[in-house]
Amino acid sequence: MPHQLPTGTTRAQAYEASQDAGINPSANAQFDHIVVHRYGRRSVLQGLLAGSALAATGGLFAPAEAQAQSQAKAATPARHSFAFAEVSHGVDRTHHVAAGYNVDVLIRWGDPVTADAPAFDPLRQSAQAQQKQFGYNNDYVAYMPLPLGSTNPARGLLVVNHEYTNEELMFPGLGRQEAKSVNFAGMTAELVAIEMAAHGMSVVEIQKTPEGKWSVLSGSRYNRRIDALDSRCILTGPAAGHARLKTRADTAGRNAIGTINNCAGGVTPWGTVLSGEENFHGYFWGKLDDTSSEARNHKRYGVPDNWYAWGKFHERFDIAKEPNEANRYGWIVEVDPYDPTSVPKKRTALGRFKHEGATPVVNQDGRVAVYSGDDERFEYVYKFVTRDRFDPKNRAANMDLLDHGTLYVARYNADGSGIWLPLVQGQGPLTPANGFNSQADVLIEARRAADLLGATKMDRPEEIEVNPVSGKVYAMLTNNSRRKADQLDAANSRAANEWGQIVEMVPENGDHAALRFTWNLLIQAGDPLNPAVAGKYGPETSSNGWFACPDNAAFDSQGRFWVGTDQGEAWKKASGTADGIWAVETEGPQRGRSKMFYRNPVGAEICGPCFTPDDKGLFVSVQHPAADGAEAFTRNGKVSTFEDPATRWPDFKDGMPPRPSVIVITKQDGGVLGS
Residues near 66 by beta carbon (within 8 Å), at least 6 away in sequence: 58, 587, 588, 591
Spatial separation of the C-alpha atoms in residues 272 and 269, rounded to whole Å:
8
Higher pLDDT, 13 or 155: 155
Cα distances from 227 to residues 128, 138, 258, 261, 649, in angstroms, run: 11, 13, 6, 10, 25
Higher pLDDT, 575 or 37: 575
Q: E strands, 497-556, where? A: 501-507, 516-524, 550-555
Among candidate residues 35, 15, 3, 10, the one with its CA nearest the CA of residue 483: 35
Task: Assign 39 a pLDDT band (cuts: 50, 70, 90).
Answer: confident
What is the C-alpha separation between 466 and 266, in angstroms, rounded?
11
Window from 340-354, 404-418, 566-580, 603-617 with minimum mean pLDDT: 566-580
Question: Under 8 Å CB-to-CB from 68, ≥6 apart: which residues?
Answer: none
DSSP secondary structure letter of residue 318? B
In tens, the pLDDT along 476-522 reads 999 998 888 888 777 777 888 999 999 999 999 999 999 999 999 99
In degrees to the nearest 10, what's the CA dihedral of 658, 663, 667, 668? -50
pLDDT at 73: 40
For 235, residues 6+ apart whose C-beta sits below 8 A from its C-beta are 241, 245, 253, 254, 255, 256, 328, 331, 345, 346, 348
Tens of pLDDT, residues 182-221: 467 789 999 999 999 999 999 999 999 999 999 999 889 9
| C-alpha distances in Å from residue 570, one per residue of 256, 306, 548, 597, 600 | 35, 22, 10, 21, 15
Is the pLDDT reported for residue 129 higher than 90?
yes
State the DSSP code for 460: -
340: preceding bond cis by omega (within 30 degrees) = no
- Selection from 457, 531, 435 nearest residue 30 by Cα: 457
User: Mean per-residue pLDDT for 277-296?
Assistant: 95
Query: What mean pLDDT, rounded, does the chain reach?
Result: 91
Residue 318 predicted with pLDDT over 90 = yes
Q: In which band, very low, low, confident or very high, does the pLDDT at 177 lie, cut at 50, 70 and 90?
A: very low
Q: Which amino acid is at 328?
A: R
What pTM does this model have? Answer: 0.93
How much is the pLDDT for 57?
A: 34
Question: pLDDT at residue 13 above 80?
Answer: no
User: What's the rounded Cα separation, in Å, for the pair 641 and 661?
Assistant: 18
Q: Does the structure show a pLDDT above 70 at 10?
A: no
pLDDT at site 37: 79
Q: What is the rounded average pLDDT of the residues 144-168? A: 97
On the question of pLDDT at 64 being above 70, the answer is: no
Tell me the per-residue pLDDT of 585-613, one tens digit each, with 9 for 90 and over: 999 999 999 999 999 999 999 999 999 99
Q: How would you class 160 by CB atoms within 10 Å of its CB: exposed for 0-12, middle for 13-18, buried for 19 or more?
A: buried
> CA Rg, the chain, in Å?
23
Buried b / exposed e across 266-296, counting CB within 10 Å, b at 16+? bbbebbbbbbbbbbbbbbbbbebeeeeebee
Q: How many angstroms separate the CA atoms of 350 and 404, rounded?
A: 9
Whether the per-residue pLDDT at 130 is higher than 60: the answer is: yes
Whether pLDDT at 413 is above 80: yes
Percent of the chain with pLDDT over 90: 81
Q: Which amino acid is at 137?
A: N
pLDDT of the residue at 496:
87
pLDDT tens profile 438-460: 999 999 999 999 999 999 999 99
Residue 465 has phi, psi (to 5 degrees) of -125, 150
